[in-house]
Amino acid sequence: MATIPPPLEKLLRQLGKLPGLGPRSAQRVALALLQAPEKLQLLQTSLHDIQSQLTLCTHCNNLAFAQQNSQSPAPARCEICTSPTRNPQQICVVEGIADIWAIERSHSFQGHYHVLGGTVSALTGVGPEDLKIPLLIQRVKQHNATEVILALGASIEGQTTSHIITERLQTIPNPPKITTLAKGMPVGAAVDYMDEGTLTLALQNRQSVA
């Protein structure tokens, strides 16, 4: 069996560390790039652009364009935070940037977001101060937010984080309304295909129809 050249072996190790890519998937990706040099060049350009042109919004921690060629650049702000059509008094709290993309695809929310950068986890040693919770409290006070939507996962870590945020928000003057995403049956689902946890939440959050 022929040995893998060191540069390719290094690439395979790095690709294999990416989410969703194991050793075999990394091999397929690497070989596809090697067989199409133009795609490899485009990928190199895209990675360079990401590194040089993207940063994090200083307001909500979403992705934003980096200020270029400026002696005194202004704080980076994302398109959502600078949009005049969005409501800054309604803040949706999410764990990561991918959650923003998912909610935006629904076209059902016109407020602002706040990316925590994770959830509180005793197992991994992540505490409230390791996340963007203090910045959230600051934003709520600054903009006199009327509602904070906790759009975190239904995991133990997500529920713990939601509880901590709720406690802290309730201690500030004129606390906002605190809501969470409804949990239950997804659209188009059949009852006999639902797991016990989903059905329990659906029953607990049942709504009156008459």
Give the pLDDT confidence of 69-86 residue by residue, as tens digits. 555 566 789 999 999 999
Locate the domains of the chain by residue range: 77-180
pLDDT(15) > 60? yes
Contacts by residues 107-110 (CB-CB < 8 Å, ≥ 24 positions apart) = 110/85, 110/86
What is the spatial distance between Cα 116 and Cα 156, in angstroms, rounded to a whole number? 16
Q: How many CB atoms lie within 10 A of CB 84?
A: 4
Confidence of residue 37 (pLDDT cuts 50, 70, 90): confident
**26 close to 15: Cβ distance less than 8 angstroms:** yes
CA atoms of 149 and 137, how far apart (whole Å): 13
Model confidence over 151-208: pLDDT tens digits? 998 889 999 999 999 999 999 999 999 999 888 878 788 888 888 888 888 888 877 7
- Residue-wise pLDDT for 114-137, tens only, equals 999 999 998 899 999 999 999 999
The CATH code belonging to domain 77-180 is 3.40.1360.10
Contacts of 86 (CB under 8 A, 6+ apart): 80, 110, 111, 112
pLDDT higher at 54 or 209: 54
User: What is the share, in percent, of the chain residues with pLDDT greater than 70?
Assistant: 94
Other Cβ atoms closer than 10 A to 30: 19
So what's the pLDDT on residue 1? 43
